[in-house]
A and B are shown apart, each in its own frame.
Chain A
Amino acid sequence: MSQPSDPSDAATPLKHTSLHAIHESLGARLVPFAGWSMPVQYEGLVKEHQAVRERCGLFDVSHMGELELEGPGAVALVDSLVTNAISTLPVGRAAYTVCCNAQGTILDDLIIYRRGESKILVVCNASNRDKIAAHFGKHAAGKDLSYRDASDETALLAIQGPRAVDVVRDAGAPSLGELASFALGEATIGGVKVLAARTGYTGEDGFELFCAWDDAPALWTALTKAGEKHGLAPAGLGCRDTLRLEARLSLYGNEIDETTNPLEAGLGWVVKLDHGDFVGRDALLAIQAKGLTRKLVGIVTTGRGIARHGYPIVAVEGTPGRTPGERLGEVTSGSPSPTTGLNVGLGYVPTELAKVGTPIGVEIRGKIIAAEVAKTPFYKRPKA
């Protein structure tokens, strides 16, 4: 048996989060990810996936980037750099958005937290931290605001799953249960001051908790203790990926990157073309006027095979108006879906083939495996 080696697994030493020793003591398998040594799994990916869907899981996502902007010009600046409307975002609320370049393609996806009238926290992907920090820094220069990359001082834990609310309550923060989806609050858990948001990347209810870098072990320990009777499990990046895929949440570098625009990625709901000028607006208006040539769709392989990132999507017998074997696009993510038992994926296909049920094929190691365009999300959590 051989596995492809990770090209990032070389040269510069990997960074550790402040929870590294805890991960090691839990027997986590640590892998390189965006320059960090991160837990991909503890007890096992599928068990952790199920724990999050059925009970709750605790993730260390301290590798993510945090940028702080404060001052009279802060809101206007962020508003001018992202596709979603930030000037109308109420204080105490967060919003998902993308940040585009002038061509209307995606530099990163972000969550913007409006902490105060003129105070903003931006959370970006670890893989894009330097790029986004520089982009915001460049545009912040000369404006009436203070700007700082707080990533190295800020830890981030995510507690996700139907029992997350019970765990934070038992950990001494019952007020967090009152937060609406995408609302922010403050609490003290295990003696640690946290900024909490009712957000996540799993398709489940839950919270993301920011704290000072060195406080993360105390926060982790307090949540783990309170979580014992609720079946809390430490959860790695492996299940984070399968959970987000089932919920059809985009992963930067897979569904979205600097060659894709938010409209074709199905992120039109975070593009507010009327919120004033922003970087990429003109390009997105032009793309919209011209019409989309391709769309991101759900894929389920009906034949025996698992679609994976980068595999070609091809026409099959029954694909309307196409010759079998003709290349249609590419799989952006794919995996067995532990919750549904299906082999699911996402990928780009020509707009006219984006209809649910369209027969397509996925080329897997030289063989064409039958698949079809499928409804997304693959998993939607039951209404409480």
Chain B
Amino acid sequence: MAQYPTDLRYTKDHEWARVEGDLVRIGVTAYAVEQLGDVTLVELPAVGDTVEAHGKFGDIESVKTVSELFSPISGEVVEVNGALEDAPELVNESPYDKAWMIVVRLSNATELQDLMDAAAYEAFLGTLD
């Protein structure tokens, strides 16, 4: 499935990570979007905040539910996607592109080894439901 781009790394919490040198761009997967339905609010940390691997970095709300966002890796937040404040529906429309959420400066590169590639993530999804 093209739903899970092969250049990304994935977590069991349904976040994706795109490694860009020592920076990592983070968002949620198509599977997460499908589970959530219509996204209506995304709450993100501020630039300068630190996040930890498996730690909460924000909240995402659909019409029906509230879910927590968990960071795939540890580091300092260097960029936040402000567009999601006014247009949370971008998460539904473009989860891997326009709806990236934060960019983190990686503090521990070995954490990347714990993330799944697309094939492993899809196999993991097969074990759900």
Contacts and interface: CB of A to CB of B under 8 A. Distances in A.
B41 A1 contact: no
Contacts of B41: 304-306, 336
Interface string A306-325: 10100000000000000000
A308 B64 CA distance: 9
B40 A1 contact: no
A338 interface: yes
Interface string B31-43: 0100111101100
A3 B35 contact: yes
Contact of B64 (A2, A238, A365): A238
Contacts of B70: 1-2
Interface stretch (A37-45, A112-120, A207-215, A273-281): A37-45
Interface residues of A, number: 20
A41 B62 CA distance: 13
Contact of A45 (B15, B38, B61): B38
A311 to B, nearest CB: 10
A306 B64 CA distance: 10
A242 interface: yes
A46 interface: yes
A330 B42 CA distance: 23
Contacts, number: 52
Contacts of A238: 37, 63-64
B53 to A, nearest CB: 15
A41 B36 CA distance: 11
A40 B65 CA distance: 12
B59 interface: yes
A230 B10 CA distance: 43
B18 interface: no
Contact of B65 (A3, A44, A242): A3
Contacts of B38: 44-46
Contacts of B61: 306
A167 B103 CA distance: 51
Contacts of A242: 63
Contact of B37 (A44, A241, A365): A44
Nearest to B37: A45
A202 interface: no
Interface of A: 1-4, 40-41, 44-46, 238, 241-242, 304-306, 308, 335-336, 338, 365
Given A1-B14, A44-B38, A308-B66, 11 more contacts: A1-B70, A2-B13, A45-B62, A45-B63, A238-B64, A242-B63, A305-B41, A306-B41, A306-B61, A336-B41, A365-B59
